[in-house]
């Protein structure tokens, strides 16, 4: 089973269902990496539980409450003042009424006949433009999909190569350990034979 499928933190916090917990329990017993992560979580929990609980000092609370508030600017005082804002609004409305009353009316021009529109020709042009843009969009999307697939394939190849190298290194270290163990056993057996 893949380690990424196991929620070690959920297993530690007992947030998994019974079936998920059984699978995780079996995996943690078999996987040294996940077992190490579980041990680290247990160590962290015990360290946190060992810390004493402390209250926040009162002087910090009072210092925060006494912090001076900045003086509002002239603009903020104007916008926060209802009477001043009402007076300014009434003055602007009065000026607008006065300007509207004093300006002469605009002479109306006679209505011009609306030009005839060839709807069919416009639809044909729109359809052609749409088809061209659709084809360009599809080509661009296919190009992006190809690039993404290429990047994903390269990333997968790199990941597999890294995993292969890690397996080779692990195997080499195990072979080295076994060789040392066999040498120790050989030396021990030669020592027992001499005595």
pLDDT in single tens digits along all 195 residues of the chain: 577 777 888 888 888 888 888 888 888 888 888 888 888 888 888 888 787 777 766 555 555 555 566 777 777 776 777 777 787 888 888 888 888 888 887 777 777 766 777 888 888 898 899 899 999 999 999 999 999 999 999 999 999 999 999 999 999 999 999 998 888 888 877 766 665
Tell me if 20 is assigned to some domain: yes
Tell me if 28 is assigned to some domain: yes
Q: Is 153 helix (H, G, I), strand (E, B) or coil?
A: helix
pTM: 0.30
Question: d(Cα 4, Cα 34) in Å, to the nearest integer?
Answer: 10
Question: d(Cα 36, Cα 20) in Å, to the nearest integer?
Answer: 19
Distances (CA, A) of 146 to 72, 116, 117, 137: 58, 48, 44, 14
Residue 60: count of CB within 10 angstroms of its CB = 9
Segments in 66-118 forming alpha helices (H): 74-80, 82-102
Tell me if 190 is assigned to some domain: no
Tell me if 82 is assigned to some domain: no
Tell me if 39 is assigned to some domain: yes
Its domain, for residue 31, covers: 1-51
Tell me if 174 is assigned to some domain: no
Which residue is listed with tokens 């300007």? 99
Count of structural domains within the chain: 1
Tell me if 168 is assigned to some domain: no
Tell me if 12 is assigned to some domain: yes
């Amino acid at each position: 089973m893949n380690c990424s499928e196991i929620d070690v933190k959920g297993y530690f916090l007992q947030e998994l269902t019974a079936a998920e917990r059984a699978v995780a329990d079996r995996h943690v017993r078999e996987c040294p990496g996940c077992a190490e992560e579980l041990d680290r979580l247990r160590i962290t929990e015990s360290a946190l539980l060992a810390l004493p609980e402390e209250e926040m000092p009162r002087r910090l609370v009072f210092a925060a409450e006494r912090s001076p508030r900045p003086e509002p600017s002239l603009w903020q005082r104007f916008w926060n003042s209802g009477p001043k804002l009402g007076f300014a609004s009434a003055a602007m409305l009065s000026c607008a009424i006065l300007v509207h009353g004093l300006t002469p009316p605009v002479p109306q021009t006679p209505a011009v006949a609306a030009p005839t529109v060839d709807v069919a020709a416009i639809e044909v042009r729109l359809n052609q433009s749409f088809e061209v843009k659709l084809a360009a969009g599809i080509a661009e999307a296919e190009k992006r999909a190809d690039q993404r697939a290429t990047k994903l394939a390269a990333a997968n190849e790199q990941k597999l190569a890294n995993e292969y190298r890690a397996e080779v290194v692990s195997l080499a270290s195990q072979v080295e350990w076994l060789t040392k163990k066999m040498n120790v056993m050989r030396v021990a057996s030669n020592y027992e034979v001499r005595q």
